[in-house]
């Protein structure tokens, strides 16, 4: 826990952010983004680090991190599939999509595969309604999805993982 | 609210439920209505916390809006017309209640909050009698949030009162709302439990039974308990409390609002400190030379000692006796040819202040100022020294000790000194170093079993009352026992109520002039002419 620290570059960015907002608390979201990029995930030590750095209570950070679905919480698989389940996507078959993914991976929504490779969760509108149904895979959107697309993407992930690529 | 109390604040003309009314500008509809004795339902609003406006149960109809507005954050304005009971307002609240109850477990029969739960009350007023919700209710966590507090997440309505309390009042920020939507619930950071000196207050302000005090869990149903307004004796702040008891056992203490003393809060140290009432060491019967005797025998013996002290009479008081008891002490002393009255008090601790302008006093006893107002401002200072010196020199023949402190503090010098008296009577809460070897030991009452007044560190006189039911003679308090003794000794004609004793006191003691139990406001009153000095300054009064 104690040796966690932003890199020099991360710290510079954080300090620059502090000058950009009238209120320190407002820097929390971008600061968490830096933490996520630098530490890979937001677990207890990472959240604690950000809280101490910003001089706010760890509970506040915890509340913010858990409010959003888009942060990588500790224990999230290498590939995090976030299936949009809001209206446009739902009308265009997101439930079928979600069921298919779950079946292929052998897990339920909100779970992670045993090998830690995949996590899948249902999330609310990702602002890509015009290309429904869609999901977000780590930082990328995959749009106008068919079930075949899903199979292909999952296979690509596995291959990428075999090559040693992470995200 | 400052707007309301400042006489210069301009008044605003508005209409409440058809009645033209005036209120100080700047007030919220909710507060202005409350001041006019119209109560609007509320969950997230709390007078001591910032406005969150998240629960929507306080919606009312306004002539300035097509939709209902939330009265806890909307402010009054010239010409505003508000309906709190119109069909629109009621329908709005009904709708909020229906949503609130969608996932609520409705487990009132096993919920400790039942009987004082806002959700339960509003559910009777506004809730539908059956649910239109066919889905499964969701489940949220039930777990420990800290050493004294559990959360029953299914009951949480996410009003954030508790979160705001920790952010704004205790300043410790342990609580947060995690997740969102129907999964949101209060939690702590995984490695930081809620554990602050004021933590217990979050249980009081939780409008539902989500936050549960471990100490009180499953102890009693609210409506069965006897509720007694009294004052905490944990420190000289003198927080106003309600002592809630069942069958003669204290079940819990909750704070009573007193803006001059404790606002809406109390500290955990005071809140959970009542188990000493049942301590094994508790003195429950009179003893004479170590043998149990009837109360009357003990009183008679003490009366004889007073009639003939055989030399100097010493009386050692503590800051737990009431002003009324102190007054009787003075009567006893005034009848003796040679009397020395001195005081002992527990060592000072450190005062603690919190961002919400709540202070725990460093003085760990309830009534030093009150005792000084009766027995003289030096009673715990030089008078105490004089008594101890006389005791050490073996000059005291008969000694009466008041050892009413909940947590005996083996103050060696005093313990050694009191043993040098030829004979000693101790009014003791607990047996221990102070009672050892005493010729007479008489059960003392705890602060929650006394009837009288205490003066807090600001010199504010407040009523303490025994939580025992009237006629419950098991714990006659020291005032009754002292009067019994004085009657036998022929020093007082009869026993009176503490209110009557107070009247005598108020007649002769200047700081109490003009006061009486019956006219003392529920929030107490400052002793006139009493200037409190900082803790630790000798004779910090008058
Ligand atoms: S635990 Fe109680 S006080 Fe806290 S948010 Fe939930 S309902 Fe409100
Ligand atoms: S601050 Fe003092 S008087 Fe108030 S509850 Fe705590 S111990 Fe009791
Ligand atoms: S509904 Fe799926 S992206 Fe908006
Ligand atoms: S009391 Fe007004 S919104 Fe909660």
Query: What are the phi and psi torsion angles at B393 (to 5°)?
Result: -85, 0
User: What residues contact residue B465 under an 8 Å CB cut-off, 6+ apart?
Assistant: B228, B229, B230, B243, B450, B451
B291-329 b/e (C-beta count within 10 Å ≥ 16 → b)? eebeeeebbbbbbebbeebeebbbbbbbbbbbbbbbbbb
ipTM surpasses cut 0.95: no
CA–CA gap between residue B57 and residue A26 (Å, rounded): 29
Q: Is residue A73 part of a domain?
A: no
Pocket of ligand 4 contains residue B53 by CB under 6 Å? yes
- CB < 8 Å from B in window 64-93 of A: 66-67
- Give yes or no for residue B211 CB within 6 A of ligand 1: yes
Look at residue B504 and give its three-state secondary structure. helix
List the single residue in B with minimal CA-CA distance to A57.
B173
Same domain for A97 and A138, yes or no, is yes
Would you say the CB of residue B210 lies under 6 angstroms from ligand 1?
yes
Q: Find all residues with CB under 8 Å of A131, minimum gap 6, and list them.
A: A141, A143, A144
What length is written for chain A?
167
- The residue behind tokens 């630790």 is B536
Read out DSSP for B521-538?
-TT-EEPTT-----TTST
Copy the structure tokens of residue B117.
Answer: 């739960």
For the CA of A92, the nearest ligand:
3
Q: How far apart are CA A134 and CA A128, in angstroms?
A: 7
Beta strands in B106-168 (DSSP E): 142-144, 149-152
CATH architecture assigned to B289-347+362-443+469-513 = 3-Layer(aba) Sandwich (3.40)
Structural domain harbouring A114: 79-162
Let me know whether A94 and A63 are in one domain. Answer: no
In a shared domain, residues A24 and A83? no
- What is the Cβ-side half-sphere exposure of residue A163, based on CA atoms within 13 angstroms? 8
HSE, side-chain direction, 13 A CA sphere, residue B499:
6
Q: Single out the residue in A20, A45, A67 at which a domain terminates.
A: A67
What contacts B95, CB < 8 A, 6 or more positions away? Answer: none
Q: What pLDDT is stored for residue B409 in this prediction?
A: 74
Coil, strand, or helix at residue A122?
strand
Q: What backbone torsions phi and psi does residue B102 show, to the nearest 5 degrees?
A: -55, -50
**H helices within B107-221, ranges in order?**
118-126, 161-164, 201-205
Quick check: A109 contacting B, CB < 8 Å?
Answer: no
A59 and A94 housed in the same domain: no
Q: Which of B469, B429, B109, B118 is nearest to B283 (CA)?
A: B429
Beta strands (DSSP E) in B189-239 are 211-213, 226-231
The Cα–Cα gap between B504 and B513 comes to 10
Q: Which of B501, B473, B298 is nearest to B400 (CA)?
A: B298
| B169 Cα to the center of ligand 1, angstroms | 16
Note whether B502 and B374 are within 8 A (CB): no
Q: Note whether residue A57 is domain-resident.
A: yes
Of all residues in chain A, the percent with pLDDT exceeding 90 is 91
Residue B17 buriedness (CB in 10 A; 0-12 / 13-18 / 19+): middle
Radius of gyration of chain B (CA): 27
Q: Which long-range contacts (C-beta less than 8 Å, at least 24 apart) are formed by A7-12?
A: A7/A38, A10/A34, A10/A37, A10/A38
Within this chain, do residues A125 and A96 fall inside the same structural domain, yes or no?
Answer: yes
CA distance A6 to A99: 39
Rounded-to-integer distance, Cα B117 and Cα B97, Å: 14
Query: What is the rounded distance in angstroms from the CA atom of residue B456 to the CA atom of residue B239?
Result: 9
Q: Are strands B339-343 and B312-317 parallel, antiparallel or unpaired?
A: parallel
**A47 and chain B in contact, CB less than 8 A:** yes
Q: Tokens 């979600």 label which residue?
A: A98
Structure confidence at residue B4 (pLDDT): 52
Domain assignments of chain B as residue spans, ordered by start = 11-100, 133-277, 289-347+362-443+469-513
Q: Does A25 touch chain B (CB under 8 A)?
A: no
On chain B, the residues whose CB falls within 8 A of the CB of A62 are: 176, 178, 187, 189-190
pTM (predicted TM-score): 0.92
CA pair distance B534, B537, nearest whole angstrom: 6
Q: How confident is the prediction for chain B on average, in pLDDT? A: 93
Evaluate whether residue A2 is within a structural domain. no
For residue B160, the chain A residue with the least C-alpha distance is A63
**Shortest Cα–Cα distance, A2 to chain B (Å):** 14
- The CATH number that applies at residue A135 is 3.40.30.10
A60 vs B173, B184, B190: nearest CB: B173
Distance CA B113, CA B536 (A): 41
CATH of B11-100, one of 3.10.20.340, 3.10.20.740, 3.40.710.10, 3.40.640.10: 3.10.20.740
Asked whether the beta carbons of residue B189 and residue A48 sit closer than 8 angstroms, the reply is yes
Distance (Å, rounded) from C-alpha B95 to C-alpha B56? 10
Which atom from ligand 3 is nearest to the alpha carbon of A132? 2
pLDDT at B188: 98
A59 closest CB neighbour out of B175, B179, B180: B175
Residues A93 and A158 in one domain: yes
Contact B29, B81 (CB under 8 A): no
pLDDT tens digit string along A41-82? 999 999 999 999 999 999 999 999 999 988 999 999 999 999
DSSP at B434: T
Interface of B with A (CB under 8 A): 166-167, 172-180, 184, 187-192
Which residues share a beta bridge with B530? Answer: none
Q: Indicate if ligand 1 lies below 6 Å from the C-beta of B154.
A: no
Which is the closest atom of ligand 4 to the Cα of B58? 2
User: Same structural domain for residues A89 and A132?
Assistant: yes
Any idea which residue has 């604040």 for tokens? B9
Tokens standing for B226? 């006897």
| Ligand of minimum distance to the alpha carbon of B274 | 2
Residue A83 in contact with ligand 3 by CB distance below 6 A: no
Asked whether B153 and B185 are in contact (CB, 8 A), the reply is yes
Residue A18, domain CATH? 1.10.10.1590
Omega cis (within 30) before A32: no
pLDDT at A165 over 70: no
Size of interface A-B (CB pairs under 8 A): 47
Q: For the segment B231-259, what is each residue's pLDDT rounded down to a tens digit?
A: 999 999 999 999 999 998 999 999 999 99
3-state secondary structure at position B360: strand
What are the backbone angles phi and psi of residue B428, rounded to the nearest 5°?
Answer: -120, 135
Give yes or no: residues A98 and A47 share one domain. Answer: no
Number of domains observed in the structure of chain A: 2
Residue B224 C-alpha to ligand 3 middle, in angstroms? 54
Q: Report the 10 Å Cβ neighbour count for B13.
A: 13
* Domain-embedded: residue A1: no
- The CA–CA distances, whole Å, from B399 to A75, B297, B319 equal 71, 18, 17
pLDDT at B5: 61
Residues A42 and A93 in one domain: no
Cβ-based contacts of A47 with chain B (< 8 Å)? 189
pLDDT value for B470: 74
Q: Residue A146: what pLDDT? A: 96
> Per-residue pLDDT for chain B (542 aa), expressed as one digit of tens each?
444 567 788 999 999 999 999 999 999 999 999 999 999 999 999 999 999 999 999 999 999 999 999 999 999 999 999 999 999 999 999 999 999 999 999 899 999 999 999 999 998 888 777 888 888 999 999 999 999 999 999 999 999 999 999 999 999 999 999 999 999 999 999 999 999 999 999 999 999 999 999 999 999 999 999 999 999 999 999 999 999 999 989 999 999 999 999 999 999 999 999 999 999 999 999 999 999 999 999 999 999 999 999 999 999 999 999 999 999 999 999 999 999 999 999 999 999 999 999 999 999 999 999 999 999 999 999 999 999 999 999 999 999 999 999 987 778 899 999 999 999 999 999 999 999 999 999 999 999 999 999 999 999 999 999 999 876 655 568 899 999 999 999 999 999 999 999 999 999 998 999 999 999 999 999 997 666 555 445 543 33
A83 and A146 fall within a common domain: yes
Q: Which residues pair with B526 in a beta bridge?
A: B460
Average pLDDT over residues A1-10: 86
Q: Given this model, what pLDDT does residue A167 score?
A: 46
State whether residue A43 sits within 8 Å of chain B by CB: no
Compute φ and ψ for A151, nearest 5 degrees.
Answer: -60, -45
The domain boundary residue, chosen from A39, A67, A95: A67
Cβ of residue B156 lying under 6 Å from some atom of ligand 1: yes
pLDDT score, position B531:
61
Residue with CA closest to ligand 1 atom 4: B162
Question: Which residue owns the Cα nearest ligand 1 atom 8?
Answer: B159
Q: What is the pLDDT of residue B127?
A: 78
Nearest CB neighbour to B176, from listed A44, A48, A59: A59
| In a domain? residue A72 | no
Residue B473, pLDDT score: 56
Nearest to A59 among B180, B184, B189 (CB): B189
Q: Which residue of B has its CA nearest to A58?
A: B189
CATH of span B133-277: 3.30.70.20
Contact criterion met (CB below 8 Å) for B70 and B91: no
Does the Cβ of B58 fall within 6 Å of ligand 4?
Answer: yes
Subunit contact B178:A66, Cβ cutoff 8 A: yes
Specify the 3-state DSSP secondary structure of B282.
strand
Burial B242-263 (b: 16+ CB within 10 A, else e): ebbbeeeebbbbbbbebeebbb
A42 shares its domain with A100 = no
CB-CB neighbors (< 8 A) of B192 in chain A:
57-59
């Amino acid at each position: 826990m104690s040796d966690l620290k932003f890199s020099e570059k991360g710290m510079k960015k954080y300090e620059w952010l502090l000058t950009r907002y009238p209120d320190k608390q407002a820097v929390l979201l971008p600061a968490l983004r830096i933490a996520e990029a630098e530490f890979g995930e937001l677990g207890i030590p990472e959240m604690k680090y950000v809280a101490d750095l910003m001089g706010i209570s760890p509970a506040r950070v915890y509340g913010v991190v858990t409010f959003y679905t888009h942060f990588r919480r500790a224990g999230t698989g290498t590939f995090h599939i976030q299936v949009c389940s809001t209206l446009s996507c739902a009308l265009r078959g997101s439930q079928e999509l979600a069921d298919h993914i779950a079946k292929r991976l052998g897990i339920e929504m909100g779970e992670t595969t045993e090998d830690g490779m995949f996590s899948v969760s249902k999330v609310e509108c990702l602002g890509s309604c015009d290309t429904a149904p869609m999901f977000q895979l780590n930082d990328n959107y995959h749009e106008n999805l068919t079930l075949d697309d899903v199979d292909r993407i999952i296979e690509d992930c596995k291959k990428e993982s075999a090559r040693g690529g992470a995200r | 609210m400052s707007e309301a109390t400042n006489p210069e604040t301009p008044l605003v003309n508005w209409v409440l439920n058809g009645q033209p009314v005036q209120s100080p500008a700047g007030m919220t509809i909710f507060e202005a209505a409350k001041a006019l004795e119209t109560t609007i339902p509320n969950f997230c609003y709390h007078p001591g916390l910032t406005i969150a406006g998240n629960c929507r149960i306080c919606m009312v109809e306004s002539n300035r809006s097509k939709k209902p507005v939330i009265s806890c954050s909307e402010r009054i304005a010239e010409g505003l017309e508000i309906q709190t009971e119109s069909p629109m307002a009621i329908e709005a609240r009904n709708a909020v209640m229906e949503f609130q109850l969608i996932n609520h477990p409705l487990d009132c029969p096993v919920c400790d909050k039942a009987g004082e739960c806002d959700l339960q009350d509003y559910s009777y007023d506004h809730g539908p009698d059956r649910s239109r919700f066919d889905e499964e209710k969701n489940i949220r966590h039930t777990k420990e949030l800290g050493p004294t507090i559990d959360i029953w997440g299914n009951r949480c309505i996410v009003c954030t009162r508790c979160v705001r309390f920790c952010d704004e009042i205790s300043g410790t920020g342990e609580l947060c709302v995690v997740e969102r939507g129907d999964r949101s619930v209060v939690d702590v950071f995984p490695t930081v439990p809620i554990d602050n000196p004021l933590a217990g207050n979050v249980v009081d302000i939780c409008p539902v039974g989500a936050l549960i005090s471990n100490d009180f869990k499953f102890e009693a149903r609210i409506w069965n308990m006897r509720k007694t307004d009294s004052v905490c004796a944990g420190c000289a702040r003198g927080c106003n409390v309600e002592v809630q008891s069942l069958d003669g056992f204290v079940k819990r203490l909750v704070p009573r609002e007193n803006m001059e003393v404790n606002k809406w809060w109390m500290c955990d140290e005071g809140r959970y400190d009542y188990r000493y009432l049942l301590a094994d060491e508790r003195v429950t019967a009179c003893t004479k030379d170590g043998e149990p005797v009837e109360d009357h025998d003990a009183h008679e013996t003490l009366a004889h000692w007073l009639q003939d002290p055989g030399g100097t009479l010493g009386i050692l008081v503590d800051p737990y006796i009431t002003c009324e008891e102190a007054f009787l002490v003075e009567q006893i002393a005034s009848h003796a040819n040679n009397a020395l009255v001195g005081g002992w008090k527990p060592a000072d601790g450190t005062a603690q202040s919190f961002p919400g302008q709540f202070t725990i006093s460093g003085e760990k006893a309830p009534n030093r100022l009150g005792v000084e107002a009766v027995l003289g401002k030096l009673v715990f200072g030089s008078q105490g020294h004089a008594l101890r010196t006389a005791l050490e020199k073996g000059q005291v023949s008969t000694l009466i000790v008041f050892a009413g402190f909940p947590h005996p503090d083996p103050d060696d010098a005093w313990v050694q000194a009191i043993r040098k008296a030829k004979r000693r009577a101790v009014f003791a809460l607990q047996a221990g170093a102070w009672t050892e070897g005493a010729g007479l030991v008489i059960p003392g009452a705890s602060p929650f079993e006394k009837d009288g007044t205490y003066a807090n560190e600001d010199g504010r006189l407040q009523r303490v009352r025994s939580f025992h039911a009237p006629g419950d003679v098991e714990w006659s308090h020291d005032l009754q026992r002292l009067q019994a003794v004085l009657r036998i000794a022929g020093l007082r004609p009869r026993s009176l109520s503490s209110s009557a004793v107070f009247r005598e006191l108020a007649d002769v003691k200047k700081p109490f002039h003009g006061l009486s139990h019956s006219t003392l406001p529920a929030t107490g009153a400052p002793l006139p002419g009493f200037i409190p000095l900082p803790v630790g300054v000798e004779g910090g009064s008058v």
